[in-house]
Amino acid sequence: MKPPVPERVIVESAVAEGALAATLRKNLPSASFEIVDRISDAKTRDPKILEVVRFRGKLLKSCPGTRNYHCCGYRILHFGVQCTLGCSYCILQAYLNQPNLRVFGNLDEIFGELSENLARDRHSLYRIGTGEFSDSLLLDPLTELSRLLVPYFSKAPNAVLELKTKTDFVENLMGLDHGGHTIVAWSLNSEEVRKKEEPFAATISERLEAARLCSDQGYFLAFHFDPIIDYPGWKSGYGRTLERLFAAVDPARIVWISLGAFRFMPELKEIVRSAHPSSRIVYGEFVPGLDGKMRYFRDIRAEFYSFMVDEIRRVDPDLCAYLCMEDDRIWKESFGFSPQERGGLSRMLDRAVEKKMNIRPPS
């Protein structure tokens, strides 16, 4: 199943004449458009509503890591919030206080702030993504934002763009001048988890076919196994997905693969019970982590990671794999080293960009 298409678009007057609103009108000819002075947060969710606002905060943010766990040093380009893929485990259900899809119509300010940041430190490498508060490509068929972002980053000597998705919406990426500066990334899971917990996401086959198409266009790729979920037979399930991944694309095109065990804020448990009553994911063996999130017991997480790392290394010993938000002990149990021994996780990922993509900031 595909995610629902917006039927009603509410636009703040401050961005009603902007390029994004015009693109949405073109791509949603059957939708109703309503102009208002200011959009208030809705009380209940309507997946067929799309809100277009002028965002008034910081548009480029650092990844919200926790000091007790290793963070990747990622920066988030804030282009919109919420998602309608309906994944049962999605942290956005508990993290955001407004339920409807919302995109930011002040594109000039988004690109202006981006340019200011990149010019501020020309000698540092910026790894920037849009997939933290929404799916990077979920609305791309409607917004065509990738047609602006990808050419922009092709000319940024000290930055790479990562577009992370669970869709197969890559049509707009075809034929763009990406200059080797865009990584197209997919969140992957086992087929069993995909069927039960990701109702509107593309199938694993569809995602991997989209990855193959992007690779054929010269894009670099990344994959994120996050969340890894414990269930009977998880090894064979995740093993099969890895086999399919490496059969679909050349590992030489993959810049990194991240691994992260399912973790959640305590308040998500009741949300999952109510919104996804058939899901069993919150009934596992969990303990509070140092960041306040509920996490699988350490031995369960270590087994996840050790298995996945061994499978990845069996195909390509040099492929950059890393853990999302884990501590030194788990790293050493899974990889045999801690990020600090390699200069830190951020530096590890910078080196992956330099090695695979041949991108280095001006000296």
Instruction: Band the pLDDT of 310: cuts 50, 70, 90.
Output: very high
Give percent of the chain above pLDDT 90: 85
- With 80 as the cut, is the pLDDT of residue 75 above it? yes
Residue 348 has phi, psi (to 5 degrees) of: -60, -45
- With 90 as the cut, is the pLDDT of residue 41 above it? no
CATH number for the domain that contains residue 295: 3.80.30.30
Which pLDDT score, from 0 to 100, does residue 56 have?
87
In one letter, which amino acid is 337? F
What is the pTM (predicted TM-score) of this model?
Answer: 0.96
Model confidence over 235-253: pLDDT tens digits?
A: 999 999 999 999 999 999 9
Give percent of the chain above pLDDT 70: 98
Reference 137, options 125, 147, 127, 124; nearest CA is 147
Instruction: Band the pLDDT of 145: cuts 50, 70, 90.
Output: very high
Helix (H, G, I), strand (E, B) or coil at 21: helix
Average pLDDT over residues 116-143: 94
Q: Which helix (H) or strand (E) holds 35?
A: strand 32-36
Residue 76 has phi, psi (to 5 degrees) of: -110, 125
Helix (H, G, I), strand (E, B) or coil at 32: strand
Which pLDDT score, from 0 to 100, does residue 69 have?
66
Q: Is residue 20 assigned to a domain?
A: no
DSSP collapsed to 3 states, 75-102: EEECCEECCCCCCCCCCHHHHCCCCCEE
- Alpha carbon distance 181, 288 (integer Å): 38
Question: Which are the contacts of 335, defined by CB distance < 8 A and separation ≥ 6?
Answer: 305, 309, 321, 323
Residue 321 has phi, psi (to 5 degrees) of: -120, 145
The structural domain count of the chain equals 1
Question: Which are the contacts of 160, defined by CB distance < 8 A and separation ≥ 6?
Answer: 125, 126, 127, 128, 153, 181, 182, 183, 353, 357, 359
- With 90 as the cut, is the pLDDT of residue 362 above it? no
Average pLDDT over residues 17-41: 96
What are the CA-CA distances from residue 65 to residues 43, 121, 132, 255, 334 (Å)?
29, 22, 12, 21, 20
Q: Is residue 24 assigned to a domain?
A: no
Model confidence over 206-217: pLDDT tens digits?
A: 999 999 999 999
Which pLDDT score, from 0 to 100, does residue 290 have?
86
Which pLDDT score, from 0 to 100, does residue 283 have?
93
Helix (H, G, I), strand (E, B) or coil at 198: coil
Q: Is residue 113 assigned to a domain?
A: yes
Of the listed ranges 18-27, 61-70, 91-100, 273-282, the least confidently predicted one is 61-70
Q: Is residue 53 assigned to a domain?
A: no
Q: Is residue 52 assigned to a domain?
A: no
- With 80 as the cut, is the pLDDT of residue 70 above it? no
Residue numbers of the domain that contains 111 = 58-98+106-357
Q: Is residue 152 assigned to a domain?
A: yes
Question: Do residues 60 and 115 touch, judged by C-beta distance below 8 A?
Answer: no
Which pLDDT score, from 0 to 100, does residue 58 have?
84
Burial class (CB in 10 A: 0-12, 13-18, 19+), 77: buried
- With 90 as the cut, is the pLDDT of residue 295 above it? yes
Q: Is residue 320 assigned to a domain?
A: yes
Please give the residue that has the higher pLDDT: either 138 or 63: 138
- With 90 as the cut, is the pLDDT of residue 232 above it? yes
Instruction: Band the pLDDT of 42: cuts 50, 70, 90.
Output: confident
Average pLDDT over residues 168-184: 98
Q: Is residue 64 assigned to a domain?
A: yes
Which pLDDT score, from 0 to 100, does residue 66 have?
62
Instruction: Band the pLDDT of 190: cuts 50, 70, 90.
Output: very high
Average pLDDT over residues 76-87: 94
Which pLDDT score, from 0 to 100, does residue 107 have?
95
Average pLDDT over residues 115-141: 93
Burial class (CB in 10 A: 0-12, 13-18, 19+), 97: exposed
Average pLDDT over residues 297-312: 97
- With 70 as the cut, is the pLDDT of residue 64 above it? no
Which pLDDT score, from 0 to 100, does residue 72 have?
76
Mean pLDDT score across all residues of the chain: 94
- Alpha carbon distance 259, 335 (integer Å): 12
